[in-house]
Amino acid sequence: MNKCPECGSINKIYANNNEQICRECGLVVDDTIIAQDTINDVQREYAHQPYLATAGSQVGDGKIFKSLWLLSTREKNLKQGNETIDMIASKFHLTQSVIQESKLIFKKVLYTNTTIGRDITSLIYASVYIACLLHGTPKTAKEITLNSEINIVQLMRGYRTIKERLEMNVQSVDPIDLLPRFASKLELKQETINKATEIIMQIKEKNILIGCKPESILAGAIYLAGIENNDIRKQRQISYAIGLTEVTIRNIIREIKSIQNNNDS
């Protein structure tokens, strides 16, 4: 039964689910219904694999994802943004809430067409920067852009753009929130930390130096507090730790001294 009675070949094919045809000579060897249950089982197996019926899709963790070539420009940008945010979060060990906030902000940026005509990378980093501010995880612009493809100017431009377009009420970093981290980095005494806090509070109460970078105010306060408590740190040490130039630190020191002199008089 396994051989063709005409040519003796065992090379057969099946047609219409119920015919066995010799591939060599074309003789219909058998026309009874064959393996119908097997065929149905195969069909049922394929029916439970929906990705086979979806061109360009991929399966992962039980979900169906579009292949990259099927994504719209906006979807591709969102995918790129989420991947970049995950990379930044891994570098800074950000919490899940900050990560989700960053992705939500960037999604709003995309769906309000804020990216049109603008550098998308700077907007991605700015989304993370804003999320950190909203969740009380202060990061300086220097830290966010460290070893990245954008600079501080680009980051802050993206930050201002998002604030304006999404009408977000985001407060800038408080220098006092940055103080513990950089005080530890510079190994300051507790007396020096207390004095630096006092100097920063004086500046905040007077609403002076509005528009100055919070890290600049922090650097000046640390330097002056160190001198007063004989816990001196050189301007070069402070500039390296915080990420400012020595010129910037000298300028802010001059401004703070001027404020202190006015208070004394």
**59 has a pLDDT exceeding 50:** no
Which token pair is 149? 């493809």
Q: Helix-strand-coil percent breakdown of the chain, rounded to 5? A: 60, 5, 30
Closest CA to 244 of 222, 262, 259: 222
Residue-level pLDDT at 60: 47
- Is residue 57, in this structure, part of any structural domain at all? no
- Is residue 184, in this structure, part of any structural domain at all? yes
Using the Cα atoms of residue 153, residue 156, residue 158 and residue 161 in order, give the sign of their dihedral: negative
Q: What is the pLDDT of residues 127-185, one digit of tens each?
A: 999 999 888 887 888 888 888 889 989 999 999 999 999 988 887 778 888 899 899 98
Do 129 and 109 sit in the same domain of this protein?
yes
Do 119 and 161 sit in the same domain of this protein?
yes
Domain finish residue from 119, 140, 165? 165
Amino acid at 38: T
Do 78 and 135 sit in the same domain of this protein?
yes
Residue-level pLDDT at 56: 47
DSSP state string for 76-142: HHHHHHHHHHHHHHHHHT--HHHHHHHHHHHHHHHHTTTTTTS-HHHHHHHHHHHHHHHTT----HH
- Is residue 221, in this structure, part of any structural domain at all? yes
Residue-level pLDDT at 220: 92
Residue-level pLDDT at 51: 40
Residue-level pLDDT at 221: 92
Do 188 and 251 sit in the same domain of this protein?
yes
Do 158 and 181 sit in the same domain of this protein?
no
- Is residue 4, in this structure, part of any structural domain at all? no
Angle at 153 between CA 215 and CA 259, to 5 degrees: 35
For the chain, the farthest-separated pair of C-alpha atoms sits apart, in whole angstroms, at 120
Do 152 and 113 sit in the same domain of this protein?
yes
Q: What is the CATH number of the domain that holds 124?
A: 1.10.472.10
How high is the mean pLDDT of the chain? 79
Closest CA to 137 of 76, 183, 178, 87: 178
Domain encompassing residue 123: 73-165
% of the chain beyond a pLDDT of 90: 35
Do 77 and 111 sit in the same domain of this protein?
yes
Burial grade of 234 (CB within 10 A; 0-12, 13-18, 19 or more): exposed
- Is residue 64, in this structure, part of any structural domain at all? no
**All residues at 6 or more sequence positions from 30 whose CB lies less than 8 Å from its CB, including other chains:** 1, 19, 20
Residue-level pLDDT at 154: 93
**What's the domain count of the chain?**
3
Residue-level pLDDT at 223: 93
Do 141 and 216 sit in the same domain of this protein?
no
**28 has a pLDDT exceeding 70:** no
Residue-level pLDDT at 50: 45
Amino acid at 113: N
- Is residue 138, in this structure, part of any structural domain at all? yes
- Is residue 5, in this structure, part of any structural domain at all? no
Report residue 25's pLDDT band, with 50, 70 and 90 as the boundaries.
low
Q: What is the pLDDT of residues 175-216, one digit of tens each?
A: 888 899 899 989 999 999 999 999 988 888 776 666 678 888
Q: Worst-scoring range by mean pLDDT, 46-60, 201-215, 218-232, 233-247?
A: 46-60
Do 77 and 26 sit in the same domain of this protein?
no
Do 161 and 140 sit in the same domain of this protein?
yes
Residue-level pLDDT at 73: 81
Do 30 and 102 sit in the same domain of this protein?
no
Residue-level pLDDT at 110: 92
Among 90-104, 134-148, 242-256, the range with the most confident prediction by mean pLDDT is: 90-104
Do 107 and 87 sit in the same domain of this protein?
yes
200 φ/ψ angles, rounded to the nearest 5 degrees: -65, -40
**47 has a pLDDT exceeding 60:** no
The partner residues of 182 in beta bridges, in order of sequence, read none
% of the chain beyond a pLDDT of 70: 71
Residue-level pLDDT at 55: 44
- Is residue 112, in this structure, part of any structural domain at all? yes
pTM over 0.85? The answer is: no
- For the CA atoms of the chain, what is the radius of gyration? 34
